[in-house]
């Protein structure tokens, strides 16, 4: 292997490790309820996509992320703790398996299991896709309410 090849491998490994560290720091901020740090992690055109068909599913730009993040910490007054169970990085993408636990404002315990896919550009999140157990979201976070059924026709 030539020196340029080794330099490229080192650059890729360094970039991937930097992105893994950015994800770890994101979860630290999330666990602290640090909305400013969470928003600063996103590129100006960055977005969060919450998968599924729940009241909180959809695409969030930075303004909606700011509003939603504040709302999360209102419904979990003692905080919600996310734990990373696994983390894999390739290029500008970091995949995370995680779980959460928190006391919901309703008095019910809330836990969920997640897969997050972070996509970076220039060290900033351009897209974060969140997958989770949507039945748990509907039951506790949405109080059993579901979105209106799509119109057929």
Query: For residues 12-47, b (16+ Cβ closer than 10 Å) or e, as one string?
Result: eeeebeebbebbeebbebbeeebbeebeebbbeebb
| Per-residue pLDDT band at 5 (split at 50, 70, 90) | low
Q: Are 100 and 21 in contact (CB under 8 A)?
A: no
Give phi and psi for 71, each to the nearest 5: -65, -35
Rounded to an integer, what distance in angstroms lies between the CA atom of residue 52 and that of residue 73? 21
Which of these ranges, 4-8, 14-18, 41-45, 51-55, has the smallest mean pLDDT? 4-8
Provide mean pLDDT across the span 5-27. Answer: 79
Look at domain 3-141 and name its CATH class: alpha beta
Secondary structure E strands in the chain: 42-50, 58-60, 80-90, 93-103, 109-121, 124-132
Q: Using alpha carbons only, what angle is made at residue 130 by residues 68 and 142, rounded to the nearest 5 degrees?
A: 50
Write down the pLDDT at residue 67.
87
Provide mean pLDDT across the span 3-17. Answer: 65
Domain ranges, ordered by start, for the chain: 3-141
| Per-residue pLDDT band at 153 (split at 50, 70, 90) | low
Res. 34: pLDDT tops 80: yes
Rounded to an integer, what distance in angstroms lies between the CA atom of residue 132 and that of residue 112? 7
Write down the pLDDT at residue 71.
83
Res. 75: pLDDT tops 50: yes
Rounded to an integer, what distance in angstroms lies between the CA atom of residue 15 and that of residue 21? 10
Rounded to an integer, what distance in angstroms lies between the CA atom of residue 67 and that of residue 88? 29
Res. 143: pLDDT tops 90: no
Res. 1: pLDDT tops 60: no
pLDDT, tens only, 105-138: 999 999 999 999 999 999 999 999 999 999 999 9
Please give the radius of gyration of the chain, using alpha carbons only, rounded to the nearest integer. 17
pLDDT, tens only, 84-103: 999 999 999 999 999 999 99
Res. 13: pLDDT tops 80: no
Res. 10: pLDDT tops 70: no
Q: Using alpha carbons only, what angle is made at residue 66 by residues 96 and 72, rounded to the nearest 5 degrees?
A: 65
């Amino acid at each position: 292997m030539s020196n340029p090849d080794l330099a490229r491998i080192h650059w890729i490994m360094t970039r991937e490790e930097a992105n893994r560290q950015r994800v770890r720091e994101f979860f630290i901020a999330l666990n602290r309820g640090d909305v400013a740090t969470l928003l600063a992690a996103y590129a100006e055109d960055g977005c969060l996509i919450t998968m599924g068909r729940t009241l909180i599913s959809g695409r969030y730009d930075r303004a909606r992320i700011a509003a939603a993040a504040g709302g999360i910490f209102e419904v979990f007054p003692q905080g919600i703790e996310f734990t990373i169970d696994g983390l894999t990085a390739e290029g500008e993408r970091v995949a995370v398996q995680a779980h959460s636990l928190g006391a919901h404002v309703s008095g019910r315990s809330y836990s969920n299991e997640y897969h997050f896919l972070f996509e970076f550009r220039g060290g900033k999140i351009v897209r974060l896709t969140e997958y989770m157990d949507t039945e748990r979201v509907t039951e506790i976070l949405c109080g059993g309410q579901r979105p209106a059924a799509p119109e057929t026709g």
